[in-house]
Amino acid sequence: MSYYKIANLEQYFKHYHKSVREPRKFWGKIAEENFTWYQMWEKVVEFNMAEADIKWFTGAKVNIVKNCIDRHLARRGNKTAIIFEPNNPEEEAQHITYTQLHERVCKMANVLREQGVQKGDRVCIYLPMIPELAVAVLACARIGAIHSVVFAGFSASAVATRINDCDCKMVITSDGGFRGNKTIDLKGIIDEALTHCPGVHKVLVAKRTNEQVNMVYGRDMWLQPLLDEASDNNVAEIMDAEDPLFILYTSGSTGKPKGMLHTTAGYMVYTAYTFKNVFNYEENDVYWCTADIGWITGHSYILYGPLLNGATTVIFEGVPSYPDFSRFWEVIEKHQVTQFYTAPTAIRSLAKESIDYVQGFPLKSLKVIGSVGEPINEEAWNWYNDHVGGKRCPVVDTWWQTETGGIMISPVPFVTPTKPTYATLPLPGIQPVLMDEKRNEIEENQVVGSLCIKFPWPSIARTIWGDHQRYKETYFSTFPGKYFTGDGALRDEVGYYRITGRVDDVIIVSGHNLGTAPIEDAINEHQAVAESAIVGFPHDIKGNALYGYIILKEHGETRNQENLRGEINKLISDQIGPIAKLDKIQFVSGLPKTRSGKIMRRILRKIAEGDYSNFGDTTTLLNPEIVEEIKAGKIE
Ligand code: ATP
Ligand code: MG
């Protein structure tokens, strides 16, 4: 019997129980049957949770890129590996076959070696969503260099911090990038960043915008001429299972970003397995994830997971609003996309616009639609299900983190019955537990607690680069023996999980424990509300009270604000209880978000508290201007 594919609910439970009772057999079999190894492992897993010391497939030798590309060549050489959809719809899409991808990655790998990059070296990749980004990532992995992809929207100082944090010796960038109607001067940003990065000696520059850029003699080189000269014959590095694969910084929603280190074999096995099951992947599918490769979602589910399965994956350079709000739907029709994976922030921003943008598109090719990154509120879930999935496509609400490497809690489409706002059940191999304030495990259902995982899974991050102590403290010390996610969750009567928000954001009002997600969910049900964020602020009597920041849809903006406040509080009262009513409601035109599109509640909390002194690390903030607007309109 194979465990690689979950066919029905009965099988899900069977596989799940096997994965808990005999994790070594379960993962050992999946690893053995679905990948190419130079040498098999001695032990499937060894761990010491107290020390945050976890190893999978120790003793095995493997190269993840051989598994992503080379082994598919015989059967899938002419199959499209990557569809590149440019920012400008007038520009032709590119189809890159597995054979072509192999050639490009081998050449790039040779260029990196010729430029002195060796196994274990860190390479910073700061590129827009163009094929060169995928090629650069895979070339690093092929030669055992550790890639650190930095989202090409970060400022010079944010890039510099990330380059220095992990001592990158090389940067791969481009002259510039296109995003909607903007052109971004990436090379200029790198030049500025590198004035603070003495360790970087080489910069390889791809061409995208053909804008004039400054090339520093002896440091900067155009990539294309080097590739033209390079051989397409490349011998991949033989990697140990636990050799580092990449470093990736978290989104920075809650504080200073952490450089999570992921290693080779476990990450490979888990991302391949979860891609196959969470997206119900089949051979002729065309899969599209709209995330940027600069986030973990892009690493695991644009590149590694799909390519490990020999899939066709779309790389989209643009944004959902350019040239207009139907761009996503046009791309789905154009490439006959079967699986579509995006974030609640994108769904909410599109749902806010006229329904005409989506309604003209039948979207019949779609089979599964997914969401990741934040809790998806019920209204957005329903809109997605109705208008994008046509009520035919299971919505997979996938909960996971940069630290987890792969999807942890999610419906398996056509297997797990879905439920709006619920990530539903843990995938095989994942053992979630809810912990109470006294740090005891909560056994019963229909309760809220701190979400922990009590057994290691193959793709868990192994450390924070250069700071194992911080890794131990952040994830393994609050609940000894367990991995602490930092998120709160509710477990319903059948064992489904609903993520209620960050534990740090939980607000205790008159002794009641309130998560942010369920309250925001209730607020967003109001037909005039587009998006909302709530935080707590100190209150003399209740201990804490609730402050809501609310963005209205266009038709709501003309309404009487006092009436709206009343209606919103009534909704909350009806759905959650009077205890959760908002003391203050401020209507805003936007919310502070990370560059990956998540609401930064910590800034809103500071404003609600009236403390404008220290907003913490704001380098990952997308829209600093909104902070001033919100401060100016604060309700006293
Ligand atoms: P930082 O750790 O730097 O504060 P971050 O937690 O936003 O940033 P990521 O690793 O990108 O960085 O995000 C993981 C977090 O996103 C999860 O811990 C959770 O809070 C939230 N999240 C992701 N997917 C979901 C989901 N499907 N439902 C609810 N929340 C989700
Ligand atoms: Mg986090």
* Ligand 2 center–CA 297 separation, angstroms: 13
**146 pLDDT above the threshold of 90:** yes
Which of 251, 254, 422, 425 gets mutated to test ligand 1 (max ligand atoms within 8 A of its CB)? 251
For residues 393 and 256, the model is more confident at 393
User: Is the dihedral angle over the CA atoms 149, 151, 155, 161 positive or is it negative?
Assistant: negative
The ipTM, to two decimals, is 0.99
**326 pLDDT above the threshold of 80:** yes
pLDDT at 541: 85
Which of 401, 520, 603 gets mutated to test ligand 1 (max ligand atoms within 8 A of its CB)? 401
Other CB atoms within a 10 A radius of the CB of residue 211 amount to 15
pLDDT at 402: 97
* Ligand 2 center–CA 548 separation, angstroms: 23
- How large is the average pLDDT for residues 56-83? 98
Nearest CA to ligand 1 atom 31: 374
pLDDT at 483: 98
Two tokens, residue 342: 């995006």
- How large is the average pLDDT for residues 375-392? 97
Q: Are 271 and 301 in contact (CB under 8 A)?
A: yes
Using CB distances shorter than 6 Å, the residues near ligand 1 are 250-255, 257, 296, 372-375, 397-402, 423, 485-487, 499, 502, 596, 598
- Integer Cα distance of 132 and 222 in angstroms: 13
Q: Exposure string (b/e) for 57-83, b if CB count within 10 Å is 16 or more? A: beebbbbbbbbbbbebbeebeebbbbb
- Integer Cα distance of 598 and 343 in angstroms: 9
- Closest ligand to the CA of 451: 1
- Integer Cα distance of 182 and 178 in angstroms: 6
pLDDT at 514: 78
pLDDT at 636: 87
**587 pLDDT above the threshold of 90:** yes
**251 pLDDT above the threshold of 80:** yes
Give burial (CB, 10 Å; 0-12/13-18/19+) of 456.
buried
pLDDT tens digits for range 521-566: 999 999 999 999 999 999 888 888 999 999 999 888 888 999 999 9
Please provide the average confidence, as pLDDT, over all residues in the chain.
96
Closest CA to 626 of 596, 588, 594: 588
Q: Are 537 and 508 in contact (CB under 8 A)?
A: no
Q: In what order do the strands lie in the sheet with 529-539?
A: 529-539, 543-552, 584-588
What global pTM score does this model have?
0.96
pLDDT at 543: 85
- How large is the average pLDDT for residues 302-310? 98
* Ligand 1 center–CA 398 separation, angstroms: 10
The region of weakest confidence among 9-18, 88-97, 440-449, 611-620 is: 611-620
The region of weakest confidence among 43-52, 259-268, 311-320, 595-604 is: 595-604
For residues 541 and 417, the model is more confident at 417
